[in-house]
Structure 1
Amino acid sequence: MRPLRGRRLRERCAAVLRDLPLPVPFDAHALCEQVAARRGRPMRLIPMPGLTGVCGMWVATTTADLVFYERETTLPHREHIILHELSHVLCDHYPVSTSLAEQARLLLPGLDPEVVSRVLGRAGYSSAEEREAETLASLIRQREVPAGSLTDRLRAALDDNGHG
């Protein structure tokens, strides 16, 4: 199967987005709760300082989805990381490199690798899966941000960094 590009990629992501009602007002955490309910399994958002080599990671255990995201960045960037990882969940991506046991050992040293059913970090995706997740995350962002709220989002980003 050829990787999706350009128009075909946007069409596939738009189809996923059509079936995804967004919470109003938009909140990335609320969207994750909604997807978790739809999947019938909990999703935990876990802020991590200084993730090595990645901004975010999705870990699917036998009982829950764990979304790790970089804590030490701006609010809009944190939300985009969460949406990117959520997009991997929505697109049902699987890892293509870095062994499951190795990723589990590095990220969750206290968790038995047998419990983790799949782990996805940005280093583990094919470039096609990365493009798909990034496109879907961007489309979610475009759909959730009404033109009139741009000033509010910029103000919130500045306030979050202690500039406000």
Structure 2
Amino acid sequence: MTGLRVRKRHAALLRDLPAPVPFDARALCEGLAERRGRSIRLIPVTGLGDLCGMWVATDTADLIFHEADTTPPHQDHIILHEVAHLLCDHYPASLSVADHARVLLPDLDPDMVRRVLGRAAYSTVEEREAELLASLIRQRDVPDRTLTGSLRSALDGWRYG
């Protein structure tokens, strides 16, 4: 996917995204959950290993696990990164849902978990897309909401897949 196609996709996602003022990642999740009619639960945890965050979609809710032992701005970025995966509907094919549930969430019933996404399971393309969208979501709070020249240049040269 070219930088232009990614920009268009992200612009459409951003246009429809609730924009709390002042910006707050948790309030964004509340607004997104309300709009989707599906709860988003933010769950701070420690000891995720190589993961900083993880999105788990169950039949009734989206669970976003994020590292508790880091700074609030870093927690917000992790949450936005996982929200970006949710918005882009990323889904790793490397492990089955049941395998993900057994490895990452041993206390959850694997039949309940519909989809599990963790940073280590995404393709590089999906990781870059989620990182970019997370940054763009956060950038919306900046008074000049246009992309800076250096970010636009990076996007123009960025090729996916």
Amino acid of the structure 1 residue aligned with 2:42: L
Matched, 1:82 2:79: yes
Matched, 1:54 2:47: no
Amino acid of the structure 2 residue aligned with 1:35: L
Work out whether residues 10 and 135 of structure 1, in 8 Å CA contact, stay in contact via their aligned partners in 2. no
CA distance in 2, matches of 1:106, 1:37: 31
1:112 to 109, 113, 124: 109
| CA deviation string 1:19-43 (max 9, x = no partner) | 1131111110110111111121111
Tell me: CA distance 1:39–1:101, structure 2 relative to 1, closer, same or farther (3 Å).
same
Secondary structure (helix, strand or coil) at the match of 1:144 reads coil
Work out whether residues 18 and 32 of structure 2, in 8 Å CA contact, stay in contact via their aligned partners in 1. no
Amino acid of the structure 1 residue aligned with 2:85: H
How many residues align? The count is: 144
CA distance in 1, matches of 2:92, 2:34: 24
Matched, 1:63 2:76: no
1:162 matched residue in structure 2: none
CA distance in 2, matches of 1:134, 1:76: 14
1:136 matched residue in structure 2: 133
Secondary structure (helix, strand or coil) at the match of 1:134 reads helix
CA distance in 2, matches of 1:71, 1:44: 14
Matched, 1:36 2:39: no
Please identify, of 75-84 and 10-19, the stretch whose mean Cα deviation from structure 2 is larger: 10-19
Matched, 1:96 2:102: no
CA distance in 1, matches of 2:124, 2:8: 18
Q: Post-superposition shift, 1:118? A: 0.5
Q: Post-superposition shift, 1:8? A: 2.3
CA distance in 2, matches of 1:44, 1:146: 29
The runs of 5 or more residues in structure 1 that have no matched partner are 148-164
Q: How big is the alpha-carbon RMSD for the aligned residues of Structure 1 and Structure 2? A: 1.4
Q: Given the two structures, how large is their TM-score scaled by the length of structure 1?
A: 0.82
% identical equivalent positions: 68
Amino acid of the structure 2 residue aligned with 1:134: E
